[in-house]
Copies of this chain bind each other. A is one copy, B any other.
Amino acid sequence: MAVSLVTKYVKDFVAPHELEGIAPQVKAAHDTLHTKSGLGNDFLGWVDLPNSYDKEEFSRIKTAAKWIQQNADVLIVIGIGGSYLGARAAIELLRSPFYNNLKKDTPDIYFCGNNISPTYLNEILSICQGKDVAVNIISKSGTTTEPALAFRVFRELLEERYGKEGAKERIFATTDKARGTLKELSDREGYQTFVIPDDVGGRFSVLTAVGLLPIAVSGADIDKIMAGASDATRAYNDCDLSRNDCYLYAALRNILFRKGKKMEILVTYDPSFTLMGEWFKQLFGESEGKDNKGLYPSSVTFSTDLHSLGQFIQEGSRIMFETVVNIKRPKQDFFIKNDEQNFDGLNFLSNQNMSVVNEKAMKGTVLAHTEGGVPNLMLDVDEIDEYTFGWLVYFFEKACAISAYLLGVNPFNQPGVESYKKNMFALLGKPGYEDMKAALEEKLR
């Protein structure tokens, strides 16, 4: 298995009979998911996606990626939430957090339309000066404020620079298959389009065109990603906890929640995994954080953050558990030479690979934190490659769905996201929201 769950560091916190106790609920959650009988059952397209995905479109994604690689110095990916985090996390993991700074034969990739900061937008525009640009706009409706605002700007830029005909070749729209303003515009203007399936929510969409087009442009092999995810669909289809690490993880995090833990901290020792932590936070936070329930998802990158949040985790309020992603082989290693002077006293580390030091830091920390009263789950991951990424995505997606059903919430909606939007629209004078405006402004006075 590309990913396996290590439970020995949680043994002092969870007794075997607790797993026995929750097993029938796991079975119920499995049945709810697979018979499509539960809350949110309109959004189960991700479950079999790694096998049933549209092969013709997949091939068009690869062709489009190649075209972009050959014709653009910079790809601007416009999207927010699930239309942003998955692709960015994959590119940082599979290529590098320094992707845009390293020498390479693929385009730079910048993400835009995921905030309302004018400084951010201006800076991206200035980076585009004198470079050939392509745009991937990702939006189901085409009317979400952040990406739509950014797309207005980049569409104008491309049309000015390349003319209407030139621009249409350089704009790739990932959107609804039939409806919505972005789909209409794309058909009218002749942009190539890719589909956000109706039954796959944003945070579950990284293995659709939403994630795959930018990832393919970065040079990562998307065939291998789908192969890893597909193998994971088969690996995690058994509702017996002793044979399904994905369900075991979902069960353990719910047991810890029911014991009073308030948050889960996803831990990595590889900086290239940092954005995967952000992806994880969206996946679990948005799926479980409702009805005043849920584990708050947090993330840290060690050893960096051992010199930051490490103190709190070791000795602060005892409200958390950790899930450590243990990547067994880094993408590159570094041999530590002996230093004859040994002025820093570090020769006890020399004549071995740096990955060994990182591994011992990880193991030492797991023992220190569990000793300090923080349960530690560990996910052993063979290495960082496309296959493992695909597997890991599916592991977390399915664990999240099962976990949310165990919690008793709808894993697939996000009603709370509308609250700020409504207020924002009212304050900005959007037609249809006039009634709310005066009351809100009164509260702000």
Contacts and interface: CB of A to CB of B under 8 A. Distances in A.
A289 to B, nearest CB: 3
B343 A82 contact: no
Name the interface size band of chain A.
35 or more
Nearest to A126: B102
A294 B312 contact: yes
A420 B314 contact: yes
A79 to B, nearest CB: 10
Interface string A127-165: 100000000000000110110110111000000000000
Contacts of A337: 152
A27 interface: no
A349 to B, nearest CB: 6
A360 interface: yes
A298 B422 CA distance: 26
Contact of A296 (B82, B294, B306, B319): B319
A211 to B, nearest CB: 15
B309 A285 contact: yes
Interface of A: 80-82, 84-85, 96-98, 100-103, 108, 114-124, 126-127, 142-143, 145-146, 148-149, 151-153, 181-182, 184-185, 202, 262-263, 269-272, 278, 281-282, 285-286, 288-298, 301-304, 306-320, 330-334, 336-337, 339, 343-346, 348-349, 353-355, 357-358, 360-361, 363-365, 367-369, 371-373, 414-417, 419-431, 440, 443-444
